[in-house]
Structure 1
Amino acid sequence: MHSFKSIKIIDSGKSIILQRNNDTSVRYHSTWLRDNALDPKTRDVNNRQRLITLSDIPINISIQSAKLDKTGTNIFLTFLPEKKDVSFSANWLEAHAYDIKQHNEKGWIASDFKTWGNDMLNHIPSADYKNAKSDKTLLLQWLKSLYCYGFAKMTGGKIESGALIQIADLFGYVRETNYGKWFEVRSEINATNLAYTNLGLQAHTDNPYRDPVPTIQILYCLENSVFGGDTTVVDGFNAALRLKDENPDYFNLLSKYCARFEYKGKAGVHLQSRRPMIELSPDGELITIRFNNRSTAPITDVAYEDMINYYKAYRAFSDIINDPTLAVNFKLNPGECFVVDNTRVLHARTAYSGEGTRWLQGCYVDKDGLLSKISAISEK
């Protein structure tokens, strides 16, 4: 429970400053406070969506009065020229504070993400499907782990075609692509994708040639009696941060310039995208890794004078991704699946023999469903 011990109007009514009990302070602007008012004339009481536009807020808005209740847990404001009364709880204001130290270096990651290497092998987040489906607390724990680490396993599923959709239904909605609602991962003659062969695959993210890229991927095992065909996952954020630590110039090149990705499959399918291998938000947050040697098209957006160093950076990043100390290796059994955040975690496969059968099915789910489910369960 948060509370404040004093409130003061500053900047001629354009802002307020609140003093905390530990003698630190936090400021808010009048326009921001009015725009985020929680009263029923500003926000719909059912869906909490805003009922006004920014143009409805007077450009000369100011705060006439600002008061705290006796406990310091609620503040009460009056705005001019509307003469509108608005209240906020200390908890809400603290949860949405923006008068804080901002990140000022490239490549920071969200505080609730945890990076990992091969030490993750003995701590892979995992849950039994039936238990997770019936126990919301267990499901929430599994979903939070998937978000935090970008990777999790689920066991105890049905051994039947299409069972992976039941995993997707736990937290979101399947994103259908040209591969269908789900796709088969097993050897094919004249395969349209190298994933549909028995060749080994370097650690990669899926479908970087799409824009937007699929965000969550499920790979579900139905048969796996071959020699080889083991699964590997690599934390791409960990790899990118290591590159940044070892050679900041290389990190800057891969985040500054766009690579190009392309896929031509069956007739009528030609997918292309232009995005950096290491994508940062405008304020420098590391948000997406796109790495797929098979689908990288000719890179044409790098300046001539930087191209040699760009390829050096590309090679260095590839070498880090291939480092066994960053990889978690395991073999899937029928009825098991692994789920990855495809914007962060790369996956690979070792080659396998022609004897026996390896049959996986895969699908994509949008990440917003995962985040929505976490929030919805947490609020209950």
Structure 2
Amino acid sequence: MKEVRFSVSEESNTLLAQFNGQNIELPALWLRERCQDEYHLDKVSKQRFFDPHQLSEDLSIKKIESIIPEEKLTISFSDDYTGTYDINEFYADFDMWDGTPATKSWLSDTDKSAFFVQYDDLTSEKGLLNALEIFLAYGLIIVNGVPERPNAVLEVAERFGNVRQTNFGKHFEVYTRPDSNDLAYRSVSLGPHTDNPYRDPMPGVQLLHCIQNETTGGLSTLVDSLSVIEQLRKEDPYGVELLSTIPVRYRHYDQDVDLIERRTMIKLDSANRVEGVAYSPRLDFLPLLEPEKLKVFHRARQRLGQLFSDPRFEWRFKLEPGQLQMFHNTRVLHGRTAFDPNEGHRHLQGAYIDLDEPKGRYVSLKKKISI
């Protein structure tokens, strides 16, 4: 988090925050909503006992006093409320990562040793915190030493969040099945993609556990969309703008369900930073645009796919039995090279969890360990 400093002017009854090279006056309404006394705020749940939406828009500060050296303030407002404030409670409002690690983009030649963790370490709070920190920063981890048995993927998933059940089940089997309802269950090559862009919300995190892999092909591929989009923005900023503002229709169909969702191919977060993508050439449909804009859109989409498969960005490796890859589904794209099922068995099990759970568990665990 970038450093923020607070200063009080008792003469003008103002509280200032120095942040990003600016002096920002904290408005009376903003401060009044954040009252911290037990009459207005439940200390256990941190939920309010009052409705701040009903506060007057014309609130003003009548008096502000510093309590030294406790880093506390006493503030009186025009609605006759007076409260004591701990300044430390304001830092979270200036942390755009909300207590989680800042993302670190990576390329194919990045040192991958930072991505690996051990299965046994996930049983300790410090080991789990370390794995969460790596995952949130890089968008993936590779877990070594996972038992080579069915449903172990669920045991790992539940350390990071609650398993999300879909029409594929609580977990899904990845091995060759003729006439399957998804090409992932064939032996064909799969280009880099995000899973389930036709679903609302998309799964935030995917886990794939290798139980058996006797083939020479079927190499796993991973690519960081943050690095790719950074490159695309250098080449085609207008194309990136179109991909992040014009929705695309995605569809998944089988005999039991027909799922359709519309979303932009490039996803921005609440701070307008690139968070990831919804990318799956097997499932998307070109939007209807005027001819010239359609060409620009398609050109950007085409270049995006080329960069995803570029060796500068794509990490290609063999996922060995006992290894599990866990990745941010809308940030780190995954794929697979083709393989010959006649060489032997290739069996993976997969599962999904939502992204908010690893984030929430990281913040809570970090506070617990630091106490």
Per the normalisation by structure 2, the TM-score is 0.91
Tell me by how many angstroms 1:8 deviates. 3.8
Matched, 1:269 2:254: no
Instruction: Summarize the alignment of residues 358-373 of structure 1 with structure 2, pairs less than 5 Å apart.
Output: 358-373=346-361
Tell me by how many angstroms 1:36 deviates. 1.3
Cα distance in 1 for residues equivalent to 2:296 and 2:4: 51
Tell me by how many angstroms 1:331 deviates. 1.3
Q: Give 1:262's aligned amino acid.
A: R
Identical aligned residues as a percent: 29
Matched, 1:127 2:114: no
Match of 1:38 among 33, 36, 39: 36
CA root-mean-square deviation:
2.3
Match of 1:171 among 154, 160, 163: 160
Matched, 1:350 2:337: yes
Tell me by how many angstroms 1:3 deviates. 7.0
Q: Give 2:16's aligned amino acid.
A: L
Q: Give 2:58's aligned amino acid.
A: N
Matched, 1:306 2:304: no
Tell me by how many angstroms 1:217 deviates. 0.3
Cα distance in 2 for residues equivalent to 1:302 and 1:19: 45
Cα distance in 2 for residues equivalent to 1:270 and 1:145: 36
Change (3 A) 1:4 1:278: closer
Cα distance in 2 for residues equivalent to 1:268 and 1:303: 36
Unaligned runs of 5+ in 1: 103-109
SS at structure 1 position matched to 2:192: strand
Per the normalisation by structure 1, the TM-score is 0.89
Cα distance in 2 for residues equivalent to 1:255 and 1:372: 27
Instruction: Summarize the alignment of residues 1-380 of structure 1 with structure 2, pairs less than 5 Å apart.
Output: 4=6, 6-8=8-10, 10=12, 16-18=14-16, 25-71=23-69, 73-81=71-79, 83-97=80-94, 112-133=102-123, 135-265=124-254, 267-281=255-269, 284-297=272-285, 299-354=286-341, 355-380=343-368
Cα distance in 1 for residues equivalent to 2:330 and 2:215: 29
Query: In structure 2, what is the equivalent of residue 106 of structure 1?
Result: none
Cα distance in 1 for residues equivalent to 2:357 and 2:270: 24
Tell me by how many angstroms 1:304 deviates. 3.2
Cα distance in 2 for residues equivalent to 1:25 and 1:57: 25
Tell me by how many angstroms 1:138 deviates. 1.7
Cα distance in 2 for residues equivalent to 1:347 and 1:295: 15
Change (3 A) 1:250 1:188: same
Cα distance in 2 for residues equivalent to 1:26 and 1:244: 31
Tell me by how many angstroms 1:24 deviates. 7.3
Cα distance in 2 for residues equivalent to 1:188 and 1:112: 40
Change (3 A) 1:216 1:124: same
Cα distance in 2 for residues equivalent to 1:254 and 1:2: 34
- Structure 1 stretch 185-194 or stretch 248-257: which is displaced more? 248-257
Q: Give 1:313's aligned amino acid.
A: A
Q: Give 2:316's aligned amino acid.
A: N
Unaligned runs of 5+ in 2: none
CA shift digits 1:241-279 (9 cap, x unpaired) = 1100111122112112111111112x1211111111112
SS at structure 1 position matched to 2:244: helix
Is the 1:257–1:301 Cα contact (8 Å) retained in structure 2?
A: no
Give the count of matched residue pairs. 360
Cα distance in 2 for residues equivalent to 1:125 and 1:94: 30
Change (3 A) 1:282 1:174: closer
Change (3 A) 1:26 1:68: farther
Is the 2:4–2:94 Cα contact (8 Å) retained in structure 1?
A: no
Q: Give 1:280's aligned amino acid.
A: L
